[in-house]
Structure 1
Amino acid sequence: MIQVYEYDVDFIFTKPILIEPDEDDNYVIPQNCTTVQPPSFIKAMYHPAEKKWTEEATQEEKKALEKQIEAGRAPSPVDELKAQNAAITAQLAEAQSLAESQAQMIANLYLILAEGGKGV
């Protein structure tokens, strides 16, 4: 499986797409997609001849986005990543705690078996 990057008729990035290989293990990439990953632009535009992306957001679009972020209506990408990281860290801590509890239970069961099952 590979990831490609879709663009619209104006060559503006729309979304990433996962592509599965066909029965011959070949990847068929749609015409409006590229394997070249866009940088983290606000409005990325693809240039097929040069196989590169450029920023196409106007100053007004950039300022409007900054105002939305400052007003709290739109979280910044960094804030979104921080929130995702915090959630994943909490899930990891919970999983580690459960694994430690299971390891302790298994150790207790082995001890009971070693003592001849008297603790049951």
Structure 2
Amino acid sequence: MIQVYEYDENFFLTKPILIELDDEDKYIIPENCTEIQPPAFFKSRFYPEEQTWKEAATLEEIDEILRQAEQETETLPIDILKTQNAKLTLRVAATEKENGLRRQREADTTLLIAQLQKQISELKEVK
């Protein structure tokens, strides 16, 4: 079995076709087909005289195809989870920053209290 590529009357790719061996163990390839695999073009056109495929889509057609594909793309559950994970990671980072600032304020306050207690002790000793 081989795969060939069918093209229409304007030589545009229509579909791949599987060809089976005939009774004489030969592959009979239809006239509007080629064994040459087309590259991954948006709009493949076959040139029989050159035995090659070429891109036939204009830039505008390609842009339109890409725009439509982008609009039709569904949000995958993994993408939703990635977004949620990113938001939660930002929340955790913000909370850790707030906790760090709170601990710094507590340390500053504790130091201030200790300094004031030392000054009070020194004043009591002077009296």
Question: TM (normalized to structure 1)?
Answer: 0.59
Q: What is the percentage of aligned positions where both structures have the same residue?
A: 53
**1:56 alignment partner AA:** A
Q: Secondary structure at the match of 1:62?
A: helix
Count of matched residue positions in the alignment of Structure 1 and Structure 2: 74
Question: TM (normalized to structure 2)?
Answer: 0.56
Distance of aligned partners of 1:32 and 1:74 in 2 relative to their CA distance in 1, 3 Å threshold? farther
Question: In structure 2, what is the equivalent of residue 21 of structure 1?
Answer: 21
Question: In structure 2, what is the equivalent of residue 2 of structure 1?
Answer: 2
Aligned counterparts of 2:66 and 2:17: Cα–Cα separation in 1: 28
Unaligned runs of 5+ in 1: 76-120
Structure number with the higher helix fraction is 2
**Looking at CA atoms only, which structure, 1 or 2, has the larger radius of gyration?**
2
4+ aligned runs moved over 6 Å, structure 1:
none
- Residue 74 of structure 1: how far off its partner (Å): 5.6
Unaligned runs of 5+ in 2: 75-127
Question: In structure 2, what is the equivalent of residue 58 of structure 1?
Answer: 58
Aligned counterparts of 2:55 and 2:73: Cα–Cα separation in 1: 20
Distance of aligned partners of 1:48 and 1:20 in 2 relative to their CA distance in 1, 3 Å threshold? same
**2:67 alignment partner AA:** K
Question: In structure 2, what is the equivalent of residue 43 of structure 1?
Answer: 43
- Residue 17 of structure 1: how far off its partner (Å): 0.1
Aligned counterparts of 1:6 and 1:45: Cα–Cα separation in 2: 11
Map 1:1-120 to 2 at 5 A.
1-71=1-71, 73=72
Distance of aligned partners of 1:19 and 1:60 in 2 relative to their CA distance in 1, 3 Å threshold? same
What is the root-mean-square deviation of aligned Cα atoms in Å? Answer: 1.3
- Residue 66 of structure 1: how far off its partner (Å): 1.1
